[in-house]
C-alpha cells in the first residue's frame, strides 16, 4: 500500500521551497512506495496586505534564517524584489488545473523556482500561463481556467479543509500517513519518520 504524504505550503514561503527539496532528498529510493500531494495554504489571503521585500521583517528573516538555511542545504535562493509580494490564489487555482493533468508536482516546483530563483511575479496571469506551458500544460486551456476562475471553488474548498479539518497554522506542514509535522525537518529526521510510517 502506498504511503500518502500531503504537504501544505504557500508558493511565497521560502521554507516551503526548502521543504520540497528536503522531502525530495528524504524520499531517495522510496519514491515507488510514497504518493506526495501538495496542498494549498495562503499565508496572506486577500485582502490582507502582503509583505514588501524592502521592509525590515523580510530583510531580517532572510538574513537570519533563510539565507543561512539556503547555504546549508546548498539551494540557491534570493529574496524576490517583487513588491509587494504577490497573492497566490491564482497560482493555486492553476495548481488545481495542473493536478488534474497529472502535473501537480512539476507545477509546484516551477512556482518555487520561478519566484525564489528568478524573481518572477507569480501573481500575474501572463507569468503563470508561461510557466504552465513550461511544465507541459496547454497554455490556452490554462489561461481560460484562470480567467474564468474555473477552479476558485476547488481551491477555496482545499483552504477550508486546511483550516477546519487539518488545523494547519503554519507552513510547511507535512501530513505523513496519520502523523502531522509542522515546520521544516532535517532530511534524516524526515526520512526516519517516513520509514516508520511505511512499516
For residue 71, give every residue at least 6 positions away whose Cβ sits within 8 Å of its Cβ, in sequence order, or none.
none
- Quickly tell me which residue has 521551497 as its cell: 17
Beta bridge partners of 176: 5, 179
Specify the CATH number for the domain of residue 62.
3.40.30.10
The pTM for the full model equals 0.97
Q: Is residue 1 over pLDDT 90?
A: no
The residue-averaged pLDDT of 161-181 equals 96
Q: Is 180 exposed, middle or buried (0-12, 13-18, 19+ CB in 10 A)?
A: middle
CB 53 within 8 A of CB 79: yes
The residue-averaged pLDDT of 22-49 equals 97
Dihedral angle sign, alpha carbons of residues 14, 19, 20, 22 = positive
Summarize pLDDT for 106-162 with one digit per residue, the tens. 999 999 999 999 999 999 999 999 999 999 999 999 999 999 999 999 999 999 999
Alpha-carbon span 101 to 2, nearest angstrom: 21
Number of domains in the chain: 1
Average pLDDT, the chain: 97
Summarize pLDDT for 72-100 with one digit per residue, the tens. 999 999 999 999 999 999 999 999 999 99
Q: What is the pLDDT of residue 122?
A: 98
Q: Which domain holds residue 65?
A: 3-198
The residue-averaged pLDDT of 35-60 equals 97
Amino acid at each position: 500500500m502506498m504511503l500518502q504524504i500531503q504537504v501544505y505550503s504557500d508558493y511565497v514561503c521560502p521554507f516551503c521551497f526548502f521543504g520540497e527539496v528536503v522531502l525530495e532528498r528524504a524520499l531517495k529510493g522510496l519514491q515507488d512506495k510514497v504518493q506526495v500531494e501538495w496542498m494549498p495554504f495562503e499565508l496572506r489571503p486577500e485582502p490582507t496586505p502582503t509583505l514588501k521585500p524592502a521592509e525590515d521583517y523580510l530583510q531580517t528573516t532572510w538574513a537570519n534564517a533563510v539565507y543561512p538555511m539556503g547555504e546549508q542545504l546548498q539551494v540557491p535562493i534570493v529574496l524576490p524584489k517583487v513588491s509587494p509580494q504577490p497573492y497566490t490564489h491564482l497560482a493555486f487555482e492553476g495548481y488545481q488545473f495542473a493536478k488534474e493533468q497529472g502535473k501537480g508536482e512539476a507545477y509546484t516546483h516551477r512556482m518555487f523556482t520561478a519566484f525564489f530563483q528568478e524573481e518572477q511575479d507569480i501573481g500575474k496571469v501572463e507569468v503563470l500561463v508561461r510557466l504552465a506551458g513550461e511544465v507541459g500544460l496547454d497554455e490556452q486551456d490554462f489561461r481560460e481556467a484562470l480567467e474564468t476562475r474555473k477552479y476558485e471553488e476547488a481551491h477555496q474548498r482545499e483552504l477550508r479543509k486546511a483550516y477546519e479539518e487539518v488545523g494547519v497554522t503554519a507552513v510547511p506542514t507535512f501530513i505523513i500517513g496519520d502523523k502531522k509535522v509542522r515546520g521544516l525537518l532535517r532530511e534524516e529526521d524526515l526520512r526516519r519518520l517516513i520509514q516508520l510510517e511505511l512499516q
